[in-house]
């Protein structure tokens, strides 16, 4: 099997794995992260196979699907990759990226131990963060809010900038607050030059959107 065929196999496994998901961690999220990661990888001259495979696999075993078990993803991925004869060295590189990403997700702050990561890991991390920003990020935020029956906006519930991991997991806020609690801080957590540029553009788009949202909310336009 050549690398292109291996990617096709991984794609099929990931599609099947996320078949029933609708909270924003669906197959299309993995697809977009792959597209964005490949774009960054070309600019940053990284290993395209490792980046594409890790991007496709990055959310497998996310704690939300396994009752808090944060180790299960690695086991599933290892089994899949062995099954399609990916060499041990490449499996380790891919696992390293996915594990580091979920470790960083488990941290409270958006600042991460970036210097410990390979360029491929930085790229997949940036691509995942970028999918929470811009037009797609706005759509995902309201889709998530609707799914968890959270209010779109409530001026009486103020954003909590120092939101804790527990409060975040309990999701007692509004979708508009999520921009202030998380999304507007993400541009400072980008790890590659290309990721930073893309985040700046998506950040500006969200700021313009929020300005318009409040203008409409207050009947000004
Ligand atoms: P990830 O960190 O992998 O993006 P999350 O579960 O935190 O995973 O987020 C999935 C999507 O849902 C993202 O687009 C995120 O911005 C959005 N989201 C997460 N928490 C909230 C929330 N409390 N309110 C609205 N949208 C949210
Ligand atoms: Ni993701």
The residue whose CA has the least distance to atom 22 of ligand 1 is 178
Confidence of residue 111 (pLDDT cuts 50, 70, 90): low
Nearest-angstrom CA–CA distance, 66 and 17 = 13
Give the per-residue pLDDT at 72. Answer: 84
What's the mean pLDDT in 198-206?
A: 98
CATH of the domain at 126: 1.10.3210.50
Structure confidence by residue, pLDDT tens digits, 143-152: 999 999 999 9
CA of 128: how far to CAs of 19, 20, 190, 208, in Å? 19, 20, 10, 22
What's the mean pLDDT in 92-105?
A: 87
Confidence of residue 73 (pLDDT cuts 50, 70, 90): confident
Number of domains in the chain: 1
Nearest-angstrom CA–CA distance, 130 and 143 = 17
Closest CA to 112 of 43, 167, 188: 188
Six-digit token pair at 209? Answer: 């959107």
Name the closest ligand to CA 31: 2
Q: Is 148 helix (H, G, I), strand (E, B) or coil?
A: coil
- Would you say residue 114 has pLDDT above 70? no
Confidence of residue 6 (pLDDT cuts 50, 70, 90): very high
CA of 141: how far to CAs of 14, 49, 135, 177, in Å? 23, 30, 10, 10
Q: Which of 36, 144, 149, 210 has most ligand 1 atoms within 8 Å of CB, for mutation?
A: 144
Average pLDDT, the chain: 89
The residue whose CA has the least distance to atom 9 of ligand 1 is 24
Closest CA to 126 of 188, 176, 171: 188
Q: Which of 140, 150, 183 has most ligand 1 atoms within 8 Å of CB, for mutation?
A: 140
> CB–CB of 169/99 below 8 Å?
no
Give the per-residue pLDDT at 87. Answer: 97
Confidence of residue 169 (pLDDT cuts 50, 70, 90): low
Give the per-residue pLDDT at 117. Answer: 87
| Helices and strands in the chain, H and E counts | 10, 0
Name the closest ligand to CA 29: 2
Greater model confidence, 69 or 183: 183
Calculate how far, in angstroms, residue 59's C-alpha sits from the geometric centre of ligand 2.
5
Calculate how far, in angstroms, residue 171's C-alpha sits from the geometric centre of ligand 1.
10
Give the number of the atom of ligand 1 that is nearest the alpha carbon of residue 183: 16
What's the mean pLDDT in 65-74?
A: 70
Calculate how far, in angstroms, residue 215's C-alpha sits from the geometric centre of ligand 2.
31
Six-digit token pair at 13? Answer: 């496994």
Confidence of residue 162 (pLDDT cuts 50, 70, 90): low
Q: Is the dihedral of CA 19, 24, 28, 31 positive or negative?
A: negative
- Would you say residue 186 has pLDDT above 70? yes
Residue-number span of the structural domain to which 22 is assigned: 3-217
Give the per-residue pLDDT at 102. Answer: 77
Six-digit token pair at 195? Answer: 């990721």
Q: What percent of the chain has pLDDT over 70?
A: 83
Greater model confidence, 26 or 194: 194
- Would you say residue 52 has pLDDT above 60? yes
> CB–CB of 157/151 below 8 Å?
yes
């Amino acid at each position: 099997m050549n690398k292109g065929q291996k990617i096709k196999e991984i794609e099929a496994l990931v599609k099947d794995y996320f078949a029933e998901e609708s909270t924003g961690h669906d197959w299309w999220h993995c697809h977009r992260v792959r597209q964005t990661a490949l774009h960054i990888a070309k600019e940053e001259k990284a290993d395209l196979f490792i980046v594409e495979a890790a991007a496709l696999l990055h959310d497998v075993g996310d704690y939300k699907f396994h009752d808090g078990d944060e180790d299960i993803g690695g086991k599933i991925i290892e089994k899949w990759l062995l099954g399609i004869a990916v060499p041990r060295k490449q499996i380790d590189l891919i696992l390293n990226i996915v594990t580091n990403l979920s470790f960083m997700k488990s941290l409270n702050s958006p600042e991460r131990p970036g210097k410990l990561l390979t360029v491929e890991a930085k790229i997949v991390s940036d691509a995942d963060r970028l999918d929470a920003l811009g037009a797609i990020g706005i759509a995902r935020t309201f889709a998530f809010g609707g799914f968890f029956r959270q209010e779109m906006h409530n001026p009486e519930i103020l954003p909590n900038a120092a939101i804790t991991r527990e409060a975040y997991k309990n999701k007692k806020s509004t979708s508009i607050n999520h921009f202030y609690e998380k999304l507007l801080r993400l541009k400072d957590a980008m790890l590659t030059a290309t990721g930073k540029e893309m985040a700046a553009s998506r950040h500006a788009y969200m700021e313009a959107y929020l300005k318009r949202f409040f203008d409409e909310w207050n009947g000004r336009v």
